[in-house]
A and B are shown apart, each in its own frame.
Chain A
Amino acid sequence: VAADATVSSPLSRLRAPSFTTALGLLFVAFIGVWLVINLIKTPADFFEVTAIGITNGCVYALVALGYTLVYGILELINFAHGDVFMLGGMFTITYSTNFFGLHHGQGAVIVPIVIATLLLTMATCGAINATIEFFAYRPLRSAPRLAPLITAIGVSFIIENVALAVWGPEYVIAPDVLPRSDVFHIGSFDYQWNKLIAVIITVPVLLGLVYLIQNTRQGKAMRATAQDKDASAMMGINVNRTISFTFLIAGALAGAAGIIYSLYFTSVKFDQGFQLGLIAFTAAVLGGIGNLPGAVLGAVLIGLLQGWNEGLNWHSPGSDWTESIVFAILILILVFRPAGLLGEQTPEGG
C-alpha cells in the first residue's frame, strides 16, 4: 500500500524539463495567476470558497483512500466504491434519525449521536464492502485482468438499484443538525462550524488509518500483500483475509465520507455515488494511485479546484463544467504522468 518512494538521484531531477513538463508547469502557472487575480479582486469570496473546497476535499480524501487501498492491493479499480460511499450517506440518515432520533435543534447531545452514527455507518459500509469482495471479486482472482473491473461496474449498478428500491428515487433528506455559528471571522470572511466538522471527522480517521498501516501486524500484512501476494503467502500471511480486511477498511472510510457528506449537504440521492466516486478516483490518480498521502493531497487539490471553479467570479468556467474539468485532469494525468504527483513510476503505467 504505502509504496516506498524510490528517491530519484538529484542529477536526474536537474535535467532539462521535457516539453510536457514545461507545458504542465505553464498550465499550473496560468491557474496560479487566475487565483491571485481572484484573490485580489474578492478576497472574502476567495477564502470562503477555499474553505468549501477543503470540506469537499475531506470527503473526496476519504473516498479516494478507499480506491487507493484497493488498487494498491489488488490493482483493481473498484467502481462500486463510490456507491458504497452513497450507502454510507443513506445509512447515516437512517441510523441517526430512526435509531437515535436526531433532529434539528437538539444542542450538545448531537455529539455522541454523531459519533455513534459514525461508528455504526463505518462498520456497516466496511461489512458491505468486504461482502462485495467475497462474492464478486474473489472468484475472479485468476481471471483476465479486465474481468473484475467489468464485474465492479455491474456491482455498482446493483448497489445503486438496491438503494433506489430501499430509499426511493428522490433525494433523502438528512437532519440539519450542524451548527452554523462562526468558528472565527477575519474581516468579512467567516468560517463556520459545519465546515470545520468535516475536518474534525477526517483528521482522526486519517491518523487512525496511518497508525493501522504503519504500526500494526495487520497493516504490515497489508503492505506485504500489496508488494507480492505469493511471497506473502509463503511467509504465512493469509492473503485472502488481508484482502478482505483491506476492503473492510476501505468501506469504513467510505462510510465516514458518507456521514460527512450527508450531514454537510443534508441530502443524498441513490445515483450520487458513482459520479462522486469517479471524482474521488481522479483524486487518487492525481496523487498517485496506490499512494496514501498522494490520495489525500490529490483529493484536497480536486476539492479546492472544484470550490474555486464553482465559487470564484472572475473568469471561472462555473459549475456546469466541473465534471469536464475533473475528467480532463484525469485524462491528462493518466496520459502524461500515470504515476501521479507522488506515486512512483510503474513499468506498466508508463
Chain B
Amino acid sequence: MDPNAMWEAHGIPAWRRLPAETRSRIVLGALIVLAILLFFVDHSLGYAVLLGAVVIELRKLPLWPQRTAAFAVIVVFLAILAAVSSTPWSLVFFLAAAFGAAAVPPKYRGWALPLGAIVAAVMYPFYYAHLFTLPVFGAFPDVPTGVYMLVFIMMAVGLNIVVGYAGLLDLGYVAFYATGAYTCAWFASAQFAGQKCPTPGVSVANCSVSTVPKHSFDFGAVGVLPGTGGYHVSVWLLLLLGGIITAFFGIVIGLPTLRLRGDYLAIVTLGFGEILPQVARNGDNFFGTGFNLTNGPNGITPLDSPGFGHHLSNLTGGFLPANYLQCCSAKVMGHAVTSTDVFFWTAIVLLLVTVFCSYRLQFSRLGRAWIAIREDETAAAAMGVPLMRTKTWAYASGAFFGGVAGAFYASFKSSTFPGDFFFNISVFILCMVILGGMGNIWGVIVGAGFLSYLNVFGLGTTGQWINTHIHFGGWHPSIDAQLYQSLVYGVIIVTVMLFRPEGLIPSRRRAAEWHEGVHDEPLYDHEVAQIAGEGV
C-alpha cells in the first residue's frame, strides 16, 4: 500500500498532493527551525543542517550561471572563514569537490562520477587523517574500517544479485561468507599440519618438545616461516578458490531448495545459515572422532597474507609488495604506506571487479531472466525462461562474491572464528541491500557503505555524541550504542519497508514493482483502496 494513502486513511492530507511550492516552503521552514534548535545542542550540527537547507534551496536555480555562482560564493565564504578562524580547510575542499561533481553535465556523469569516486577512494589513506570531523558521527573512518566497509559492500553487492535481481530472499548469506573464510583458512594456515609429538605415545596437547608437522604443502604462498607445516596456497588463488567452492556450495544448497516458494526458501537459507556456524563451532572434534576441521571456537589463526613474492616485487621496483604483512617501507607524498593501506587498495580492486561483473550481469541475458523471474515467475516460465537453472545461477553468482569477500576478509584479519558468522550478519547485509535499494547497485553500495561504517565506527561515536550533547535539566543519557546495533537494523528495515520499500536510491523498475504491487487491491481494505483508487 502506498504510504500516502495510509496517512489519508488517518485523516492527514497527502503530502504529495500539496502544491510543489508549498511543499518546498514547508521543508525549508522546517529545516531552518531544526537548524536553530540543533544549534543549541551542537553548533556544528546546526550549521550542517543550515548548509543542507541552503543547498536544497539553491538546487532549484538553473545550473548556469546562478547555481554555479551561488555555490562558488559559498565555497569562497567558507574559505575566508577557514583563513580567519578555525573552519577546517578540508571542509572547503570537500564542498568544492561536491559542488563540482553536481555541476558535471549529465552527458559525462555516467563515467565522470564513478571515476571521481574511485580516485577519491584510492587516495583515501593519504588524506583521511586531515579530514574535518562530522557533526554527530565524529571523525571519518580510518583505513582498517575502510577495508571492513569495502568487504561488506562487496558482500552486499553479491547478495544484491540474489535478492535484488532475482528476488529470492536469502536469510543465510553468512553461510557463504563463512565458506569463503574457512576455505582461505584451511589452505593458508597450519590447520592441517597434522602436528605430532616427537616423544612416542604423547599427544600434541601434552607434548613438552616442540611438535613436528607431518604434512606440509606449499603453492605460491609468501611469508610462510619454514617448518610451519599445513597447506599454504597463494592467497590470490584462494580468493578464486574460495569463490568457486562457495558458488559450488550455493548450487548444492540451491538445487533442492530453489523450487520452493519465496518464504520457504528464506527459511531454508536461514536454516543453513544457522547450521554452518554450529558446525564450525563444534568442528574441532567431530562426534568424538578427534578430527579437527575448524579448530572449534578458538578459530583458525594466523592466516597467510597475500603478496606478490620477491621476484615480482623486485621486477616492479617494489611497487607490488612481496608480502602484505611485512610490507612497504615506501613513503608516498609524505605518507608512510602501511600494510593496511595495501589491503585497502586490494579491497578496492576486488570491489571494482565485483561491481563490474554485477553491473554487466544485470543487462546480460541471464540478468534479464532474473528480473523476469522476480517480476512474475509464471510468466517468465511461460516465456521459456528455465526457472531452476536461472535461479541456481543467481544463487551461485551471489555466493561466489560472498565467498571471495569472506576469503579476503579472513586473510586481512588473519583469523576465522565461528563467532563471526551469526544470523545477525545475514540480516545486516540484507539490511544494506534494502536500505540502498534492492536491485540498484549504486544504491546498494551507498547503503552498505553507510551501514558498515555505522557498525564498526559510527555507532560508537554517535552514542558518544548523544551522551555528551543531549540532556534534559540534570539528566544525561548513558547509552552504550554498540549494544543496540541490531536495533538500528530493525528500525531501518521496518521504516524502509513501510515508507519507501524501493530503498533510498532505487532502480526505477523495482520502484514501480513495489508501488504498483503484485496483488490486486484487496477488497477488504475498502476505505484505503477507495482513496488509493482516486489516483495520487
Contacts and interface: CB of A to CB of B under 8 A. Distances in A.
Interface of A: 75-77, 136, 139-151, 153-158, 160-161, 164-165, 169, 229-230, 232-234, 238-240, 274, 278, 281, 285, 317, 320-321, 323-324, 327-328, 330-331, 334-335, 338, 348-349
B103 interface: no
Contacts of A278: 270, 274
Contacts of B492: 154
A230 B268 contact: no
Nearest to A157: B490
B267 A320 contact: no
B521 interface: yes
24 contacts: A77-B267, A136-B494, A140-B1, A140-B498, A141-B522, A142-B517, A142-B520, A146-B167, A150-B169, A151-B493, A153-B493, A154-B490, A154-B493, A157-B427, A157-B487, A229-B522, A278-B270, A278-B274, A317-B287, A320-B278, A324-B279, A328-B275, A330-B271, A335-B256
A8 B271 CA distance: 31
A80 to B, nearest CB: 10
B384 to A, nearest CB: 22
Given A169-B483, A229-B524, A335-B260, A154 B514 contact: no
Nearest to A335: B256
Contacts of B281: 320
Contact of B494 (A75, A77, A154, A317): A154
A229 B522 CA distance: 8
A59 to B, nearest CB: 19
Given A139-B3, A141-B525, A335-B268, A161 B484 contact: yes
Which 3 A-B pairs have CB atoms at the shortest separation, nearest pair first?
A: A157-B490, A154-B493, A161-B487
A139 B486 contact: no
Interface in B516-533: 517-526
B261 A348 contact: yes
Contacts of B218: none
B434 interface: yes
Contacts of A143: 1, 497, 501, 514, 517
B494 A155 contact: yes
A151 B494 contact: yes
Q: Determine the interface band of chain B, counting residues with CB < 8 A from chain A.
A: 35 or more
A146 B169 CA distance: 7
B275 A156 contact: no
B478 to A, nearest CB: 12
Given A146-B263, A153-B493, A234 B498 contact: no
Contacts of B282: 320-321
B498 A139 contact: yes
Q: Determine the main DSSP class of B at the interface with A.
A: helix
B72 interface: no
Nearest to B257: A335
Contact of B489 (A77, A147, A157, A324): A157
Between B171, B486, B494, the greatest number of chain A beta carbons within 10 A of the residue's beta carbon is seen for: B494
A78 B497 CA distance: 15
Interface in B340-357: none
B257 A147 contact: no
A154 B497 contact: yes
Given A142-B522, A327-B274, A158 B494 contact: yes
A323 B274 contact: yes
Contacts of A331: 257, 268, 271-272
A323 B522 contact: no
Contacts of B171: 153
A149 B494 contact: no
Contact of B521 (A136, A142, A147, A148): A142
Contacts of A147: 497, 501, 514
Interface in B436-491: 483-484, 486-487, 489-491
Contacts of A157: 427, 486-487, 489-490, 493
B419 interface: no
A182 B501 CA distance: 56
Nearest to A162: B487
Most B CB within 10 A of own CB, among A75, A169, A240: A240
Instruction: Summarize A's interface: helix, strand, loop or mixed.
Output: helix
A139 B6 contact: yes
Contacts of A151: 493-494, 497-498
B262 interface: yes
B165 to A, nearest CB: 14
A235 to B, nearest CB: 11
A338 B264 contact: yes
A164 B484 contact: yes
A160 B486 contact: yes
B267 A334 contact: yes
A120 B274 CA distance: 34
B513 interface: yes
Which of A161, A230, A321, A338 has the most chain B CB within a 10 Å cutoff?
A161
B139 interface: no
Interface in B377-408: none
Contacts of B240: none
Contacts of B6: 139
Nearest to B266: A149
A230 B271 contact: no
Contact of A77 (B263, B427, B520, B526): B263
B430 interface: yes
Contact of A161 (B268, B486, B513): B486
A155 B490 contact: yes
A156 B270 CA distance: 15
Given A145-B518, A150-B497, 20 more contacts: A76-B263, A139-B3, A143-B497, A145-B262, A146-B169, A146-B262, A148-B497, A153-B171, A153-B493, A154-B491, A154-B494, A157-B493, A233-B523, A321-B282, A327-B271, A330-B271, A331-B271, A334-B257, A334-B260, A334-B264
A240 B524 CA distance: 7
Interface string B276-315: 0011011000010000000000000000000000000000
A158 B490 contact: yes
Interface in B53-75: none
Contacts of B274: 278, 323-324, 327
B489 A149 contact: no
Contact of A281 (B261, B267, B518, B525): B267
Highest count of chain A CB atoms <10 Å: which of B3, B6, B490, B521:
B490
Contacts of A239: 522, 524
A145 B260 contact: no
Nearest to B285: A320
Nearest to A232: B524
B257 A149 contact: no
A145 B274 CA distance: 24
Nearest to A76: B263
Contacts of B271: 327-328, 330-331
Contact of B1 (A141, A146, A238, A281): A141
Interface string B1-45: 101001000000000000000000000000000000000000000
Interface in B165-221: 167, 169, 171
A96 B20 CA distance: 56
Contacts of A160: 486, 490
A150 B430 contact: yes
B514 A144 contact: yes
Given A147-B501, A324-B275, A335-B256, A240 B525 contact: yes
Nearest to A282: B271
A301 to B, nearest CB: 17
A320 B288 CA distance: 12
